Structure 1
Amino acid sequence: MDKAALRLTLFGLLFTCVNLAANKKQDIDIYSFHISSTITNRYATTVITSRVKNLLTQSQEIHFEVKIPKNAFISQFKMTIEGKTYDGVVKEKEEAQKDYRRVACLGKSAGLVSFSAVGRTFEDFKTSVTVAAQSKVTFELTYEELLKRRHDKYELLINAQPMQPVADFKIDVHIHENPGITFLEVKGGLNTKDLANAVSPLKLEKDAWVNFYPTRDQQTKCDDCSENGLNGNLIITYDIKRLNQRGDLKALEGYFVHCFAPTDIQYISNNVVFIIDRSASMSGKKMEQTRFAMLKILSDLAEDDHFGLITFNDQIQTWKPELLKATEGNVEEAKMFVKGITSGGNTDINAAVLKAVDMINKHHQEGSASILILLTDGDPTTGETDLVKIQKNVKKAIDGKFPLYCLGFGFGVTFAFLEKLSLENNGVARRIYEDSDADQQLQDFYKGVSTPLLTDVQLSYQGVADLTQNTFSHYYSGSEIVVAGRIIDNSLDSFTSEVTALSKRTERVYNIEIPIGKLNSDKPGQKNFIERLWAFLTVKQLLEKEVTLQGQEKYNAKNKALELSLKYKFVTPLTSMVVTKPQDQQIQVVHKPKEGEKPTISPTSSYGVPCIVEGGAAAAGVIIFEPAEPTSPPLKSIRILKSSGNAKPLCYDVHRVAQKFRLLQNDQSEFSMNGQLETVGGKGFSQIAIHYKTHHHLLLSTSEISYFDGQDTVKFSWDQGLTHHETEHVSLILRSNEMDVTMGNIRVVILLHKKDENFLWPAVWQQPKDAGFTGILGEAAISYEEIPGSYTPTLKLKNKEVKTSWVMVTNYRFSFAPVIGCWLVPFNVVAQRELSDFTVTQL
C-alpha cells in the first residue's frame, strides 16, 4: 500500500508554510485547509486546520508535518477521527517521558518526537495517524508568538505549498492594533498575476484584514503553481501609529502591556569594535562573505561614528590601535584592511574580546553608545580555551558598561557558549547560516543595532508585580521595547508609568498617567491576550536568564518558567506535549529543543522497549526488579535486569546472604552507594547511603532523608513537596516520592514505593562511559548467544553454557512499575565474582 503524506509547514517571524502531500493515485483528499491568524497588540495566535479523507477501501497512515517559528510556542494540537477528538496534553518534560516509558515498557506502541531545526527560523514537527477506509481526520494546531518589530515593521510571511489543489482553501489574517495601523502591504509570489485577485487586503484605522481564497483552478495556473497546486509566498507587513511618544499602554483583567518605541529622538553616534575570526576554519566562502559584508557595513557607518577592527586567530591584529571617526578617508583605509584579511591558524577568542574591551574603554566618546560585535565560526583552540573562564574574564572586563553581540557562523561553534557570553553582557547571540546570503545576514544584523536612540532605559510602574524585563542597555531605531506585568493594587484610580533614559548626554523622562477605565482593552469578551502575552514573554525571558544564573537563582528561574509553561500549555524546552492516538495506535511525546540542540530520541533496549533511557547509563543500563506474582518464588532474593546486545534482556537473583550490599562504586569518581535490604516484607531496601569524595554523605530511609556536606546537616521529608538543594558538584532534587541525586558526573534516583510496606529502589540514570564501576549495579551490559535445539533454554554466556528460564519481573525503577520478561541466569556467571564480594558491614 502506498503511503500518503500530509504536510503543513509554518515559517518566519510568523511564517506559515503548508505542504500537504499525496501520491499520484490521489489516495487522500485534502478537502479543506484553513490558516487563521489573529494579531492583537503584536501578539499573534495562529490556528491551522486541515481536513483530510482517506479515499481507499482500506485503512492507511496519513502524515502531518508542521514547521513552526523557533520563537513560537505550540499551545494546542488535536486530531478528530470519526467524531472523537484526541488532544495533546502539555506536561513537565520528565513526566511526559514517564508516560512514554510506561506505555513502551508495557509493550505498546510509543513514539518520542522532538522538534528539529530545519532552517533559520523554524522547527519541524511531525506526527501521523492511521485512518480507516473512507474515513476522515481533522488536524488542528495552534501556536502563539509575540511579533518583534524590526526595521520599522512587523512581518507575517505565509508560504503555501500543498501537493494537490484543495477545494476549500482559505488563509485569513486579522490585525487589530489600538493605536492605529499606518500601512499594510501584501506582496510575494501568491500576490502576482493570476493569483492577484484572490488576495483581498483591507485596512481601516485600527483593523486590517488579508484574505487569500484561491479557486481550485487558480491553484494550478499561477506562476509558481503546477498540477500539484500552490507553491509560493504571501508576505504581509505593517506598522502602527506612534503619536504618543510615551508608548502604547493597555490593560485587561489585571494584566498590562506597555509598548515603547519613541521616534522624536536624535540619533546617538556609535563606538563599535568589530572582532573578526580569521582562523583556518574561516577560509574559503566564509571569509569571502565576511569581507563582502564588512565592506558594506563600513560604507553604512555614519560620519559621527567611531569604529575599530580586530582580526584574530592565534594572534591579535588591529587595524588601528584606537577607535577612529568614520570619515571618508578612514573608511576607505579600513576597507583596504578588510580586503587583505586572510585565514589561517588557531582561535583565541579570549584575547581578542579582551583587546576589544580595552580599546573601547580607552577611547570612549562621551554621549555615544558603545557596542562590541564578535564573529566566529568555532570554539577557542588556543590561549584560554576553558569556556567558563572566558565568560568570567569577559564579564569582568565589560562590567556591564556596554553590550557584546556574538554571531556564530555555521554549526561548528558551541552556540550555548556564545549565548551565555552575550546574555551576561546585555547582548544577544545570533547564528549566521552558511548560505549564499550569509553576507546579507551579517548586514541585516548590524542594521538592527547600528542606530541607537537611547541608552540606560528603565521603565517603572506603580502598583504592579511580576514585571518582565524593564531595564535595557540600548533602544535602537526601528525596534520596540515591550514590558508586561500584573496590576496588584486594585485601589488605583489611574495607572502610572515612568520611563527614564539617556539620549546623548541628556536624561529623558516619559511619564504616563491614564485613568483605569480608559486603560482596559476596547475589545470586551475576547480571550485575555494581554495575560497570555505576559506569560509568553515571561517564559521566554526566564529561559534566557536561566542560562546566566547559578545555584538557587537558576533553579528558581527554571521552576517559574516551568510553572507558567504548564499553566498556559506552552510547549517549551521545559515541557512536552503527550499526544495519545486512537486505541492500538501509539502515543507520542513532543519536545522543543534549544538553539543548536539536536533532536533527542531516547535509546531503546535491544528488543525495542525503551526501559533504559537516561544519559550515559543506557549503555551500562542496570534496572532492579522484584519477582512478579504469582509465579515468583518466595521473596528470598531480589532480581536484577541487564541490558544486552541480544534480542532479550538478562536478569539474575541476588540472594539474601547478607543484609547490606555495595550497590555501586567508582574509585576514580570517589563515589559509592550502599543499600540495606528490608527485614520485614523483603521487597526492597529500607536504607540507602551515598558517599561522594570525603565529606558528602546522603542517607535515605523510608521515613526521612539526611544530607551532610562536611559542615552542616540538612534533613528532608518525603512528603515536603518539590525541594532543591545544591552545593559544589552536588545537586539534590526532591520530587513526589523520588530523590534525584547528582554527585559529580554520576546521577542516581532513589524512589520510595508505597506497596504494602514502604521500600526504596535505586535507579542509575547517568554515569561516565568506559569508567570502572563495581557493585551489584555496576556490571556492564553483556552479550550472549541462544543455543538452538536444547530441551531446556540454554545461553552461551562468557564462554559458558548456562541453563535458563524465561521469567516475568516487576520493574521498580519506575514509579508505575511495569512488568517485563527476561532470561534468568546465575549471578556468579554474569558478575564473574561471588555475591559475598559485594557485601559490606556498614552503610
Structure 2
Amino acid sequence: MHVTSNVSNRFAHTTVTSRVKNIATKSQEATFSIVLPETAFISGFIMEVDGKNYTAYVKEKEEAKKDYDQAVARGLGAAHVAVSARDSNRFTVSVNVEPETKAAFYLTYEELLKRDDGHYEQVINLHPGQPVKDLSVEVLITESRKIIDLKALPLRSGNEIGDDKGDLDPRADLAIINDKTAVVKFSPNIERQKQLAHVLGTNEDEGLAGQFVVQYDVERDPNGGEVLIQDGYFVHFFAPTELAPLPKHVVFVLDTSSSMWGQKIEQLKEAMNKILEQLHNNDLFSLVEFNSNVKVWDLNNAESSVWYPTSGDNFNFRDKGDEVSFEGLKFPSASVVNPDNIKNAKDTISQLVPGGGTDILTALRVSLHLVELAKDHKVDEVNRQPIIVFLTDGDPTVRLTSTEEISNKISEYNVGLRRSPIFALSFGSGADRDFLQKLALRNSGFSKHIYDAADAALQLEDFYRQISSPLLANVTFKYEPSVTSLTKTEFPIHFEGSEIVVSGWRGTDLIEPPVIHGWGVGGKLSLKPAVIERSVSNVERLWAYMQIKQLLEKKETADKDKEDLKKKALDLALKYSFVTPVSSLVVVKPNATNAVDTEAATGGSHVPGYPLRAFSAAGPPAGYNSYKFAQPIFDDFSQQYPSPPAYPAFSRIPAAVIPSLAFASPNAEEEEVSVEEETTQAADLLTILPWLKTILNDNGILDLPSGKYKLGLNETITDSVDCPKTPLNEAGHCSLLHSCPQVHSLLISSDVFVQHVCILKNEYAGVCCPNDS
C-alpha cells in the first residue's frame, strides 16, 4: 500500500495504491477500503483485476439511479462508501479475485487544506485491514511562501482528542529541500505497524488503523494576504497576522432538557469550566439554560435570574403559538469577564440539573434579545462582536416544533448590522444535525457535532478555541470590475488562526490588487495584498470546487430558486467531473455499465450473503468498522504494476456533502444471488454484528439508554407492531433483531441500532424492520 500526496499551495492531490494477490486455491472477495478526510473529494478510481481495468466516471445522479436499480434487479453485487472516523467518509469497494490472481486499486482524492489554530494539516488515514509488507506514505509540499513549523505529529486514532503519545511517534523522515519545498516520508515495517496498532488499541493482526498527520504553516503577508493566478483564474488567501482581537459578547445557550441527564450534563459542565477560563478579560458573556422554559442567569444574584416564560406558567407551550414577547420583562445584564464573575459562572454551571422538554425557538429568541440589550446599554462604550454558542442534544418538543419554521423565524429576527453569528453544536445521536447545520449557515456561523464519548468535553473546548478570537467583522473583498464568477466575497466575521479563501476569473492577469474592507478594534480599515504571484496548482479546479460548494450551501438554506441552484451545481459538477449530492460515481465494465445511486451514508460493511444498497442514517459511529480481508490472508506485492493507469481529470467536494458511492462488482455478471433464510442463526449474530458485545451483558440482556431488554435470540414473535423509522428511513414493523437480516448491513454500530430500536412485549429489544420483509 503506497500513499503519495502532493500538496501545492494548500491544495493536496493524494493517490492511494493498493496491490493484493489471492494465494488461496479458491476465489475470494478482496475489499479495498479508504477513509477520506472530511474536506476531501474523490477525483479518480480504477480497479485492475487480472489485467483488466475498470475506470470510474461521474454521471448525473438520477440517471445513475436508474442504472443502479436495474443492476440491483439483476442481482449484481455492490459496495458503498461508509463513514468511519469522526467527520470523515470511507470509500469501500469489493471485488472477486480468482486463485493466484492479482488485483490493484488506485484511488485519487483532492482537498484544500483548511487553516485552523494557525496551521494546516494533511491527514492521511491508514486502514489496510492487515499488516502490509510494503507500506509507505510520502507527502511532498510545495508552497509559494516559506514553509514554517513543519511537523509529523504522533499518530491519531481519529476518534479521540487527547494528549499526543510519544510511543505513537511515526519516526517520519522530514527533508527540507528549500524554504518553499519539503518532503515527509513514513514507512513502518510490519513489526512497527503491529506496535503502533497495539498502542492505538486495535488488533495487531488487522494492521495499523490510524491517522498520519503532517502539520505546517507558511509565512504570509501580514495585511492583505496573497493572490495566486493561473490561466485567467485566481485564488486569494487572506489571513492577517497583525490585528488585535475584537472585544466580544458571548451568549452560551445550554440545553438542560431531560435527555441531557447523566454523562452528557457532566461532560457539558466539564467543558464549560474550561471554556470559561478561555474568555478574554473585559469581554462580556451571558449564560442561558433552556428546557421547557428559558432561564437567563444573574451571576451575582441567582435569585434575580429570570425565567421566560415566567415561573408558574404551563411548561407545555406546544398549543400556545410561537410568538415571543419581552414586554415588561427585565433580563439580567451581561457579565464582564473577570475572576469573580468566572467563579460565579462555574458555580452556576455546577448546579445545572436536566429536566423538561426542548424549547429551541424561545431559547434563541431570548439569546438574540440579550445581544440587543448589550448593544443598546453598553457597559463601557465599547462595541463588541456578538457570538451565540448554541448547544442541544435533541429536537424541539416545546412551543414551535417545526425546525423549518424555527430556522426561518430566527433568520428573520437576526438581521442587519446587529446580526449575530450562531454556532450550533449538536450533542449525541438524537440531535437533528441537518437542521442545526442549516440554522448556523443561515446565521453566518457553522455547526459541529460533539460526539458522545469520553472526550466530549475536549471536543467542546477545541471548538471554542476556533472562535475565541475574532479579528475582523463585516469583511468584504472588492475586485476590479472586469473580475467575474467570484465565489463568496462577504464574510460576517474572521477568526484568528483561520483563513478566508476567495476565487474568481478575469481572463487575463489582475492589474489592480483587490481591497479588503472590515471592522477591527480601531474601527473601519482597508487592506491590500502585497504580492500577486503565479500559481503552480490548478486554480481553475479550486474555483469550480468552491462554486459548487457554495451553490449547494445556498440550495440547502434558500427558500426559493432551489432547482436553479441545483442545476447550476450539477452543470459544474458534470463539467469538472465532481462527485456531489447531485451527481454519482459510476464504474464502467467491459460491455456493461452499472451505476449505483449515492446518498449520504454513515456506516456499513458488506456482510456476505446480504444485499447492499445505498442508504442514509444519522450520525457516524464512535469506532471504526471492520473491513479486513477475507481469510486466508491476501499477499500484498510490489513492482507488479506500473504507475496507475491514466484516468480523466476529476475534482473534489467537501466531505460534509460527499454522498455514499457504490459500484457494481467487476465480476458481478458471473455471481449468483443467494437467498438468505428469513432468520439468521443466533450463533452468527454476534459475528455479523460485533458491536452487540459492547452492550450485551453476561446474562444476555441489552443495556440500552431506554432500559434493559432481552435480545431474544431463541424467540419467535409474530405480533404486528408498527414503528416509524427503519434504517432505510421509512415506516416499518418491529421485529426481533435476528429476524430482520435485511438491515444488518446498515446497523454498523450500537449508536445506529439505538436510533431504530423498538420494544416487543415490554421485554424484548427489536429493530424497526422494512414492511416488505
Taking structure 1 as reference, are residues 519 and 232 closer, same or farther at Cα in structure 2, changes over 3 Å only?
A: closer
* Distance in 1 of aligned mates of 2:117 and 2:169: 28
Q: How does 1:60-75 map to 2 (within 5 A)?
A: 60-75=28-43
Q: Secondary structure at the match of 2:390?
A: strand
Q: CA deviation at 1:511?
A: 2.3
Q: Secondary structure at the match of 1:168?
A: coil
Give the conservation status (yes or no) of the 8 Å contact 2:154–2:169. no
**Aligned twin of 1:380:** 396
How much identity, in percent, do the aligned residues show?
36
**Aligned twin of 1:564:** 572
Q: CA deviation at 1:513?
A: 7.2
Taking structure 1 as reference, are residues 569 and 189 closer, same or farther at Cα in structure 2, changes over 3 Å only?
A: same
**Aligned twin of 1:109:** 76
Taking structure 1 as reference, are residues 240 and 598 closer, same or farther at Cα in structure 2, changes over 3 Å only?
A: same
Q: CA deviation at 1:46?
A: 1.1
**CA shift digits 1:615-667 (9 cap, x unpaired):** xxxxxxxxxxxxxxxxxxxxxxxxxxxxxxx99xxxxxxxxxxxxxxxxxxxx
Taking structure 1 as reference, are residues 245 and 203 closer, same or farther at Cα in structure 2, changes over 3 Å only?
A: farther
**Aligned twin of 1:531:** 540
**CA shift digits 1:177-204 (9 cap, x unpaired):** 1111112011315996798656344363
Query: Does residue 1:184 correspond to 2:150, yes or no?
Result: yes
**Aligned twin of 2:178:** 204
Give the conservation status (yes or no) of the 8 Å contact 2:427–2:451. yes
Query: Does residue 1:246 correspond to 2:224, yes or no?
Result: yes
Q: CA deviation at 1:95?
A: 0.9
Taking structure 1 as reference, are residues 196 and 235 closer, same or farther at Cα in structure 2, changes over 3 Å only?
A: closer
TM-score, normalised by the number of residues in structure 2 = 0.68
**Aligned twin of 1:389:** 405
Q: Secondary structure at the match of 2:242?
A: coil
Give the conservation status (yes or no) of the 8 Å contact 1:310–1:316. yes
Q: CA deviation at 1:383?
A: 1.3
Give the conservation status (yes or no) of the 8 Å contact 1:367–1:503. no
**Aligned twin of 2:664:** none
**Aligned twin of 2:356:** 345
**Aligned twin of 1:333:** 344
**CA shift digits 1:114-136 (9 cap, x unpaired):** 43333322122221111222121
Residue identity matched to 2:464 = Y
Q: CA deviation at 1:218?
A: 4.5
Give the conservation status (yes or no) of the 8 Å contact 1:90–1:577. yes
Q: How does 1:88-127 map to 2 (within 5 A)?
A: 88-105=56-73, 107=74, 109-111=76-78, 113-127=79-93
Residue identity matched to 2:460 = L
Residue identity matched to 1:368 = R
TM-score, normalised by the number of residues in structure 1 = 0.63
Residue identity matched to 2:140 = H
Q: Secondary structure at the match of 1:71?
A: coil
Query: Does residue 1:540 correspond to 2:518, yes or no?
Result: no
Query: Does residue 1:573 correspond to 2:592, yes or no?
Result: no
Among 504, 509, 512, the residue aligned to 2:521: 504
Query: Does residue 1:482 correspond to 2:498, yes or no?
Result: no
Q: Secondary structure at the match of 2:135?
A: strand
Q: How does 1:287-686 map to 2 (within 5 A)?
A: 287-320=265-298, 321-364=332-375, 365=378, 366-400=382-416, 401-462=419-480, 463-488=482-507, 490=508, 494-512=511-529, 519-521=533-535, 523=536, 529-552=538-561, 554-581=562-589, 587=594, 589=596, 591-593=598-600
**Aligned twin of 1:267:** 245
Structure 1 residue runs of 5 or longer lacking an equivalent are: 1-32, 602-606, 615-645, 648-767, 771-843
Q: CA deviation at 1:389?
A: 2.2
Q: CA deviation at 1:220?
A: 5.0
* Distance in 2 of aligned mates of 1:590 and 1:204: 46
Q: CA deviation at 1:581?
A: 4.7
Give the conservation status (yes or no) of the 8 Å contact 1:146–1:537. no
Residue identity matched to 1:116 = A
Taking structure 1 as reference, are residues 609 and 470 closer, same or farther at Cα in structure 2, changes over 3 Å only?
A: closer
Taking structure 1 as reference, are residues 194 and 108 closer, same or farther at Cα in structure 2, changes over 3 Å only?
A: closer
**Aligned twin of 1:136:** 102
Residue identity matched to 2:86 = R
Taking structure 1 as reference, are residues 296 and 62 closer, same or farther at Cα in structure 2, changes over 3 Å only?
A: same
Among 247, 259, 262, the residue aligned to 1:284: 262
Taking structure 1 as reference, are residues 312 and 81 closer, same or farther at Cα in structure 2, changes over 3 Å only?
A: same
**Aligned twin of 1:213:** 187
Q: Secondary structure at the match of 1:496?
A: coil
Q: Secondary structure at the match of 2:513?
A: strand
* Distance in 2 of aligned mates of 1:109 and 1:432: 38
Q: CA deviation at 1:242?
A: 1.5
Larger CA Rg, structure 1 vs 2: 1
Structure 2 residue runs of 5 or longer lacking an equivalent are: 157-164, 299-331, 617-676, 679-729, 733-773
Residue identity matched to 1:375 = L
Residue identity matched to 1:382 = V
Residue identity matched to 1:180 = K
Residue identity matched to 1:565 = A
Give the conservation status (yes or no) of the 8 Å contact 1:278–1:344. yes
* Distance in 1 of aligned mates of 2:40 and 2:612: 33
**Aligned twin of 1:52:** 20
**Aligned twin of 2:3:** 35
Taking structure 1 as reference, are residues 502 and 77 closer, same or farther at Cα in structure 2, changes over 3 Å only?
A: same
* Distance in 2 of aligned mates of 1:413 and 1:115: 23
* Distance in 1 of aligned mates of 2:421 and 2:510: 39
Residue identity matched to 1:563 = D
**CA shift digits 1:494-552 (9 cap, x unpaired):** 242110000025111112476xxx6322x4xxxx5211111222222222121111332
**Aligned twin of 2:655:** none
* Distance in 2 of aligned mates of 1:608 and 1:52: 25
Give the conservation status (yes or no) of the 8 Å contact 2:224–2:238. yes
Q: Secondary structure at the match of 2:223?
A: coil
**More strand per residue:** 1
* Distance in 2 of aligned mates of 1:223 and 1:346: 44
Residue identity matched to 1:475 = H
Give the conservation status (yes or no) of the 8 Å contact 1:452–1:476. yes
Residue identity matched to 2:345 = A
Give the conservation status (yes or no) of the 8 Å contact 2:146–2:218. yes
Residue identity matched to 1:561 = A
* Distance in 1 of aligned mates of 2:527 and 2:153: 37
* Distance in 2 of aligned mates of 1:572 and 1:243: 34
**More helix per residue:** 2
Aligned residues: 568
Q: Secondary structure at the match of 2:182?
A: strand
Q: CA RMSD in A?
A: 3.3
**CA shift digits 1:342-369 (9 cap, x unpaired):** 1000111111110010011011254321
* Distance in 2 of aligned mates of 1:314 and 1:158: 44
Residue identity matched to 2:137 = I
Q: Secondary structure at the match of 1:576?
A: strand
Taking structure 1 as reference, are residues 590 and 555 closer, same or farther at Cα in structure 2, changes over 3 Å only?
A: closer
Q: Secondary structure at the match of 1:314?
A: coil
Taking structure 1 as reference, are residues 587 and 330 closer, same or farther at Cα in structure 2, changes over 3 Å only?
A: same
Give the conservation status (yes or no) of the 8 Å contact 2:57–2:586. yes
